[in-house]
């Protein structure tokens, strides 16, 4: 069988073996002890030719209900936004996607500059002076932020609001086990973090307080008040996980005294793709610049004084510090950071506010229509583009019926919040039309009874 | 183009210019200001660029021209497996039924995606010889940490709380000791012997009741197969520790040997290396973890299984270490790896390793006279040269790497592994032709000669790149990590 990715011919092989001084390629594997040598062929599916494989994959993909053919009101951390056409054209340029980490700056100025621009955009959005080149996703970025706060304050206690994304909290908990941290979950009241619960648990052993803004229920947490509480403990750090699109309209966490701001830029140019790869971001105060995990690109000049960019402050990173590193991150999400940069450039300074406001206005229209249809919208505080509604039936049953009508319903909150049984988290982004929202409300009303 | 400042996207910005096309506001207009407390309404817009669509395309096309990927030329970067990234993989990842599905859709609406994941798990189990696979981890280092957390949970489940140390060879990737520390262990080093392999005497010295695991790459970072692996497994297991396989170098042995058969209890794979998920300029990657039966209860949540004809995500896993990542791993990268495995099959993957090893040995033999070769046995998929000889002439390995840029090559990995002086780690991969290898070899021989005859050419390299060597010291001393508009 021939393989189009393998260029060696039989005559090449012969010539090369002669140079090596080996009689066969098997001889090159003679250092593998007999006892562990694989004696039979791997049992894998037969190789497929390109045409056949494309057909097979297309059929497999067709088995999935996708958010382009169905109308989706599902969010809960992963959102269906408009992706400008140019995004895929840029990230399909193989000088970008087939490159490694830019360790050789002379031939990697393109990637380095793109990351430098990404860092600038994240810094602008979050209101933080420093941002890194990206993390795996929002969840692991949050876990790294928590680890950083513990290392920085030499404290073990972390307060995490229950209005933080449940899967991010779960990841934080796993990472915390590694560092023997003590996670205290803070109860919510009416859809936002309970300030009195923060007060109750906050003490001189608290490394950080973790808040999501807007929170998992879509509600806008009162960061100003929370920050005032936190500042009563001198060293305690304020960590905010934020949907960066919302920051087009909302005051950024940096202006509310946040020490670390993290989140996911999936909202900018990255398709849902079943939850990954997305793109975490990580932004901090200047004080934490030399503690930040992951790669950083800095501006400098070459021997001739030409402006250029390099990976910098590498002494923080695992390949230099090894066992002294506080993070082990190596690969990041550079290509997705590029996708988000292109999307952010396309949306631009003016467009961002318009896009954020579109989300808010359409979500408010949905809220209004739902209430008209006698479906209870549970929380009353200001929100971004998600709302929580209370249904009379299990969410999974409702969603099944919505699916028959071509609609992907919202997230079933009862799965992780026992008190919110039969509650659905509904996301309304800028791409939902009035007609789609009207239809959703009508069908939901009919099903709900 | 050459030797000039390339504008930042922000410097192309002009007030009032737009590059967006957003959906209409087709619902009644409302005043958001009335609802929100004023303090939560942003007063200063983030300074994103204001550029047209063509501005953006020209900008990023220009940047791509200032970058170098596998499609640009030969990329023998040791340990990174910079092989060709097949284009069908990219097409597969862009099918709407894969790219536009939401992780919280009901499982019955995403059976095709789950089938792909299940099939990939099955294939990776077979390739590694492990009992079960989790696709959750996002990258190699993330996989290392995930597996170490499982090993920790295993020991603790046995009431064994004193296993605080993870043994790492001096030649190991930097992520190994870092992952050990992030998982709450202390990293201890085991030395290499004169053949570049783990020194068994030293291993016996460091192993003990406090050993949680030994982390090993096989073939190791010198490109050499750890021939005494069975003995090492015996030593570690006898002491009650676990054996961990860093899969960065799996490209050398597919179809020839399997970590599971060597006695490894846990492995991670780098799908962006061995299985052609592209490197993307640094990521995203994917780092699935494979485990032996004993460790299976500790797998991260959720575990993808099949019940009758339905694929399900099992969250009812009482011994699980918990979640290591939101959702289900880097699905898009896993899909590319799946597409590659389906293209190659068993026969193809074995040939991959055959040619990866053939290519590395051929290059090594043709370069061993001009450059110092510290370990002379057959190598696997990569080999490490030393620039000691050239250093005596005043030419450093860094200089050689920079000189290669003038010939339009990406240089090998340099100054790694740490146990070789002036190291150059070369990994050609199987997708390169003999002509490409010969051209590169000839260039390396030319540079060796230059180092003798006219060292300044090498010392002052690169000469032909768009920028010269960068001032990295100033970059670190006075960091400029973002752009500020000057008014």
3-class SS letters over chain A? CCCCCCCCCHHHHHHHHHHHCCCCHHHHCCCCCHHHECCCCCCCCCCCCHHHHHHHHHHHHHCCCCCCCCEECCCCCCCCCCCCHHHHHHHCCHHHHCCCCCCCHHHCHHHHHHHHHHHHHHHHHHCCCEECCCECCHHHHHHHHHHHHHHHHCCCEEEEECCCCHHHHHHHHHHHHHCCCEEEEECEECCEECHHHHHHHCCCCEEEEEEEECCCCCECCCHHHHHHHHCCCCCCEEEEEECCCHHHCECCHHHHCCCEEEEEHHHCCCCCHHHCCCCEEEEECHHHHHHCCCCEEEEEEECCCCEEEEEECHHHCHHHHHHHCCCCCCCCCHHHHHHHHHHHHHHHHHHHHHHHHHHHHHHHHHHHHHHHCCCEECCCCCECCEEEEECCCCHHHHHHHHHHCCEECCEEHHHCCHHHCCEEEEECCCCCCHHHHHHHHHHHHHHHC
Scanning B191-220 for CB atoms below 8 A from A yields none
Interchain proximity A333–B466, CB inside 8 Å: no
According to DSSP, residue B33 is labeled G
Instruction: Flag whether B83 is in a domain.
Output: no
Asked whether the whole model's pTM tops 0.95, one would answer yes
Distance of alpha carbon A158 from the chain centroid: 21
For residue range B48-65, list pLDDT tens digits in order: 999 999 999 999 999 999
Distance of alpha carbon A388 from the chain centroid: 22
Interchain proximity A296–B481, CB inside 8 Å: yes
Distance of alpha carbon B87 from the chain centroid: 20
CATH number for position B94:
3.40.640.10
Q: Over range A365-389, report the average pLDDT.
A: 97
Interchain proximity A61–B10, CB inside 8 Å: no
B2 — pLDDT class (breaks 50, 70, 90): very low
A356 — pLDDT class (breaks 50, 70, 90): very high
Instruction: Flag whether B414 is in a domain.
Output: no
CATH architecture of A85-342: 3-Layer(aba) Sandwich (3.40)
Residue with tokens 């250029």: A308
Q: Is A22 on the interface with B (CB under 8 A)?
A: yes
Distance of alpha carbon B422 from the chain centroid: 23
Confidence at residue A331, expressed as pLDDT on a 0 to 100 scale: 87
Confidence at residue A315, expressed as pLDDT on a 0 to 100 scale: 84
Distance between CA B448 and CA B444 in Å, rounded?
6
Instruction: Flag whether B168 is in a domain.
Output: yes
Q: Hey, how many other C-beta atoms are within 10 angstroms of the C-beta on A154?
A: 8
A376-377 sheet: strands from edge to edge: A376-377, A386-390, A423-427, A411-412
Distance between CA B149 and CA A175 in Å, rounded?
9
Distance between CA B20 and CA B5 in Å, rounded?
27
Backbone angles phi, psi at A308, to 5 degrees: -160, -175
Closest residue, chain A, to B142 (C-alpha): A329
The encoded tokens of residue B168 equal: 């790492």
Spatial CB neighbours of B320, under 8 Å, sequence gap ≥ 6: B297, B298, B299, B300, B301, B303
Distance between A3 CA and the closest CA of chain B, angstroms: 7
Spatial CB neighbours of A326, under 8 Å, sequence gap ≥ 6: A147, A148, A151, A291, A293, B181, B182
Q: Give the DSSP H/E element, type plus range, for residue B216.
A: strand B211-216
A264 — pLDDT class (breaks 50, 70, 90): very high
Query: Which among A43, A80, A139 has CB closest to B126?
Result: A43
Q: Is B82 on the interface with A (CB under 8 A)?
A: yes
A352 — pLDDT class (breaks 50, 70, 90): very high
The encoded tokens of residue B415 equal: 């100054």
- Checking if the pLDDT of A370 tops 90, the result is yes
Tell me the residue range of the domain where B202 lies. Answer: 88-343
Q: Is A60 on the interface with B (CB under 8 A)?
A: yes
Chain A residues within 8 A of B82 when measuring between CB atoms: 100
Chain B residues within 8 A of A93 when measuring between CB atoms: 60-61, 64
Instruction: Flag whether B8 is in a domain.
Output: no
Spatial CB neighbours of A207, under 8 Å, sequence gap ≥ 6: A146, A149, A150, A152, A153, A155, A156, A157, A158, A181, A236, A237
Please tell me the least confidently modeled range out of A183-192, A382-391, B2-11, B65-74. Answer: B2-11
- Checking if the pLDDT of B267 tops 80, the result is yes
Please tell me the least confidently modeled range out of A251-255, A357-361, B31-35, B401-405. Answer: B31-35
Q: Is A287 on the interface with B (CB under 8 A)?
A: no
Closest residue, chain B, to A63 (C-alpha): B112
Query: Which among B93, B255, B345 has CB closest to A46?
Result: B345
Q: Is B11 on the interface with A (CB under 8 A)?
A: no
Topology of the domain covering A71-82+349-448: 3.90.1150
Confidence at residue A414, expressed as pLDDT on a 0 to 100 scale: 97
For residue range A101-146, list pLDDT tens digits in order: 999 999 999 999 999 999 999 999 999 999 999 999 999 999 999 9
The encoded tokens of residue A42 equal: 């791997």
Q: Hey, how many other C-beta atoms are within 10 angstroms of the C-beta on B209?
A: 11
Q: Is B35 on the interface with A (CB under 8 A)?
A: yes
Query: Which among B72, B324, B351 has CB closest to A3?
Result: B351
Distance between CA A77 and CA A138 in Å, rounded?
9
CA angle B280/B380/B171 to nearest 5° reads 75
Q: Hey, how many other C-beta atoms are within 10 angstroms of the C-beta on B31?
A: 7
Residue B469's SS3 state is: coil
Interchain proximity B40–A335, CB inside 8 Å: no
Q: Is the ipTM of this complex over 0.90?
A: yes
Confidence at residue B1, expressed as pLDDT on a 0 to 100 scale: 43
Do the beta carbons of residue A215 and residue A77 sit within 8 Å?
no
Q: Over range B131-152, report the average pLDDT.
A: 98
Chain A residues within 8 A of B179 when measuring between CB atoms: 318, 328
Name the nearest CA neighbour of A113 among B59, B166, B222, B225. B59
Q: Is B77 on the interface with A (CB under 8 A)?
A: yes
Residues listed for chain A:
449
Q: Is B120 on the interface with A (CB under 8 A)?
A: no
For residue A299, list its beta bridge partners: A309
For residue range A136-150, list pLDDT tens digits in order: 999 999 999 999 999
The segment(s) of chain A belonging to CATH 3.40.640.10 are 85-342
Interchain proximity A95–B29, CB inside 8 Å: no
Spatial CB neighbours of A220, under 8 Å, sequence gap ≥ 6: A213, A214, A250, A381, A382, A383, A384, B36, B40
Spatial CB neighbours of B76, under 8 Å, sequence gap ≥ 6: B82, B363, B409, B410, B411, B412, B426, B427, B428, B429, B440
Scanning B301-330 for CB atoms below 8 A from A yields 301, 321-330
- Checking if the pLDDT of A153 tops 70, the result is yes
Distance between CA A387 and CA A254 in Å, rounded?
25
Intra-chain end-to-end CA distance of chain B, in Å: 27
Interchain proximity A33–B229, CB inside 8 Å: yes
Q: Is B60 on the interface with A (CB under 8 A)?
A: yes
Averaged pLDDT of chain A:
97
Confidence at residue A257, expressed as pLDDT on a 0 to 100 scale: 97
What is the number of domains present in chain B?
Answer: 1
Closest residue, chain A, to B261 (C-alpha): A36
Name the nearest CA neighbour of B265 among B241, B240, B292. B292
For residue B167, list its beta bridge partners: B188, B214
A325 — pLDDT class (breaks 50, 70, 90): confident
Residue B121's SS3 state is: helix
Distance between CA B419 and CA B65 in Å, rounded?
36
Residue A81 has, within 13 A of its CA and on its CB side, a CA count of 28
Q: Over range B250-274, report the average pLDDT.
A: 98
Query: Which among B77, B83, B346 has CB closest to A42?
Result: B346
According to DSSP, residue B192 is labeled B
% of chain A beyond a pLDDT of 70: 100
The encoded tokens of residue A27 equal: 């001889």
Please tell me the least confidently modeled range out of A247-251, A372-376, B30-34, B261-265. Answer: B30-34
Scanning A181-210 for CB atoms below 8 A from B yields none
Instruction: Flag whether B204 is in a domain.
Output: yes
The encoded tokens of residue A122 equal: 């994240």
Averaged pLDDT of chain B:
97
Please report the number of interchain residue pairs, chain A to chain B, with beta-carbon separation below 8 angstroms: 706
Distance between CA A360 and CA A249 in Å, rounded?
9
Do the beta carbons of residue A134 and residue B283 sit within 8 Å?
yes
Chain A residues within 8 A of B332 when measuring between CB atoms: 273-274, 276-277
- Checking if the pLDDT of A156 tops 90, the result is yes
Distance between CA B247 and CA B231 in Å, rounded?
20
For residue range B452-468, list pLDDT tens digits in order: 999 999 999 999 999 99
Name the nearest CA neighbour of B124 among B317, B256, B275, B242. B275
Distance between CA B43 and CA A164 in Å, rounded?
26
- Checking if the pLDDT of A1 tops 80, the result is no
Q: Over range A198-212, report the average pLDDT.
A: 98
Mutation test of the interface with chain B: which of A330, A343, A416, choosing the one with the most B Cβ atoms within 10 A? A330
Confidence at residue B487, expressed as pLDDT on a 0 to 100 scale: 58
- Checking if the pLDDT of A237 tops 60, the result is yes
Distance of alpha carbon A184 from the chain centroid: 23
Q: Over range A49-69, report the average pLDDT.
A: 97
Strand A260-264 relative to strand A280-284, pairing: antiparallel
Distance between CA A47 and CA B373 in Å, rounded?
38
CA distances from residue B102 to A234, B468, B469 in whole angstroms, order as listed: 41, 45, 45
Closest residue, chain B, to A274 (C-alpha): B103
Chain B residues within 8 A of A396 when measuring between CB atoms: 106
Residue B162's SS3 state is: coil
Distance between CA B182 and CA B142 in Å, rounded?
10
């Amino acid at each position: 069988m021939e393989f189009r990715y393998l260029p060696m011919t039989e005559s090449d092989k012969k010539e090369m073996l002669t140079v090596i001084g080996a009689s066969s390629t098997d001889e090159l594997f003679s250092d593998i002890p007999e006892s562990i040598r694989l004696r039979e062929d791997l049992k894998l599916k037969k190789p497929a030719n390109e045409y056949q494989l494309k057909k097979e994959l297309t059929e497999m993909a067709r088995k999935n209900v996708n958010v382009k053919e169905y109308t989706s009101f599902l969010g809960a951390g992963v959102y269906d936004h408009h992706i400008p056409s140019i995004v895929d054209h840029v990230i399909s340029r193989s000088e970008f996607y087939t490159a490694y980490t830019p360790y050789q700056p002379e031939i990697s100025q393109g990637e380095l500059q793109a990351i430098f621009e990404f860092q600038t955009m994240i810094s602008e959005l979050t209101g933080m002076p420093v941002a890194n080149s990206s993390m795996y996703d929002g969840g692991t970025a949050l876990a790294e932020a928590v680890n950083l706060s513990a290392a920085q304050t030499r404290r073990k206690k972390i307060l995490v609001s229950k209005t933080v994304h449940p899967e991010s909290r779960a990841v934080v908990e796993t990472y915390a086990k590694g560092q023997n941290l003590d996670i205290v979950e803070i109860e919510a009241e009416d859809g936002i973090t309970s300030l009195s619960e923060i007060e109750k648990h906050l003490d001189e052993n608290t490394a950080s307080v973790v808040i999501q803004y807007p929170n998992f229920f879509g509600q806008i947490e009162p960061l100003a008040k929370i920050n005032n509480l936190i500042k009563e403990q001198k060293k305690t750090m304020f960590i905010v996980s934020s949907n960066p699109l919302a920051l087009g309209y909302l005051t950024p966490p940096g202006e509310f005294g946040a020490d670390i701001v993290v989140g996911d830029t999936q909202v900018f140019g990255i398709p849902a793709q079943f939850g990954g790869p997305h793109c975490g971001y990580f932004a901090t105060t200047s004080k934490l610049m030399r503690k930040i995990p992951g790669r950083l690109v800095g501006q400098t000049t070459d021997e001739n004084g030409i402006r250029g960019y390099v990976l910098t402050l590498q002494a923080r990173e695992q390949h230099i510090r090894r066992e002294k590193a506080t993070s082990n991150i190596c690969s990041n999400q550079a290509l997705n950071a590029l996708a988000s940069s292109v999307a952010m450039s396309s949306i631009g300074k003016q467009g961002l506010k318009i896009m954020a406001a579109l989300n808010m206005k359409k979500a408010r229209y949905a809220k209004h229509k739902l209430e008209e249809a006698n479906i209870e919208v549970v929380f009353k505080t200001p929100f971004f583009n998600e709302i929580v509604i209370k249904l009379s039936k299990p969410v999974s049953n409702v969603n099944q019926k919505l699916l028959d009508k071509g609609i992907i319903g919202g997230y079933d909150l009862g799965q992780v919040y026992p008190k919110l049984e039969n509650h659905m988290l509904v996301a309304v982004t800028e791409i939902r039309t009035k007609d789609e929202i009207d239809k959703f409300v009508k069908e939901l009303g009919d099903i709900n009874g | 183009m050459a030797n000039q400042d390339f504008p930042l996207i922000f410097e192309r910005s002009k007030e009032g210019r737009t590059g967006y096309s957003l959906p209409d506001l087709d619902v009644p207009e409302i005043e958001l200001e009335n609802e929100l407390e004023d303090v939560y309404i942003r007063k200063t817009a983030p300074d994103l660029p204001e550029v047209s669509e063509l501005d953006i395309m020209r900008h990023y096309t220009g940047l791509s021209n200032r970058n170098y990927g596998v499609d640009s030329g030969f990329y023998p970067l040791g340990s990174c497996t910079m092989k060709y990234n097949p284009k069908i993989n990219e097409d597969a990842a862009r099918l709407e039924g894969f790219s536009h599905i939401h992780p919280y859709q009901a499982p019955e609406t995403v059976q095709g995606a789950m089938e792909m994941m299940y099939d990939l798990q099955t294939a990776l189990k077979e390739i590694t010889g492990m009992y079960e696979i989790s696709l959750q981890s996002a990258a190699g280092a993330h996989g290392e940490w995930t597996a170490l957390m499982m090993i920790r949970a295993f020991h603790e489940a046995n009431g064994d709380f004193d296993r605080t140390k993870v043994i790492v060879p001096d030649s190991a990737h930097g992520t190994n000791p870092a992952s050990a520390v992030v998982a709450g262990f202390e990293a201890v080093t085991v030395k290499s012997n004169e053949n570049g392999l783990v020194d068994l005497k030293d291993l016996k010295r460091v192993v003990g009741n406090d050993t949680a695991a030994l982390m090993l790459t096989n073939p190791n970072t010198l490109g050499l197969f750890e021939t005494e692996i069975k003995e090492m497994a015996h030593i570690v297991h006898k002491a009650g520790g676990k054996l961990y396989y860093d899969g960065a170098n799996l490209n050398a042995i597919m179809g020839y040997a399997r970590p599971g058969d060597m006695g490894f209890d846990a492995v991670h794979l780098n799908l962006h290396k061995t299985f052609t998920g592209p490197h993307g300029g640094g990521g995203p990657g994917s780092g699935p973890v494979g485990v032996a039966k004993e460790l299976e209860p500790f797998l991260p949540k959720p575990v993808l299984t099949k019940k009758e004809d339905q694929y399900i995500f099992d969250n009812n896993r009482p011994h699980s270490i918990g979640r290591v990542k939101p959702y289900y791993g880097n699905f898009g990268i896993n899909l590319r790896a799946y597409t590659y495995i389906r293209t190659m099959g068993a026969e193809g993957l074995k040939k991959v390793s055959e040619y990866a090893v053939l290519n590395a040995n051929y290059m090594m033999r043709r370069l061993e006279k001009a450059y110092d070769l510290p370990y002379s046995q057959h190598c696997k998929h990569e080999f490490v040269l030393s620039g000691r000889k050239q250093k005596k002439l005043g030419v450093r390995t860094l200089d050689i790497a920079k000189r290669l840029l003038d010939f339009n090559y990406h240089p090998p990995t340099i100054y790694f592994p740490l146990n070789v002086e002036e190291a150059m780690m070369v990994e050609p991969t199987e997708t390169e032709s003999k002509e490409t290898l010969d051209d590169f070899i000839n260039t390396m021989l030319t540079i060796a000669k230059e180092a003798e005859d006219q060292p300044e050419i090498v010392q002052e390299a690169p000469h032909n790149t768009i920028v010269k060597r960068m001032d990295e010291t100033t970059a670190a001393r006075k960091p400029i990590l973002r752009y500020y508009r000057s008014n």
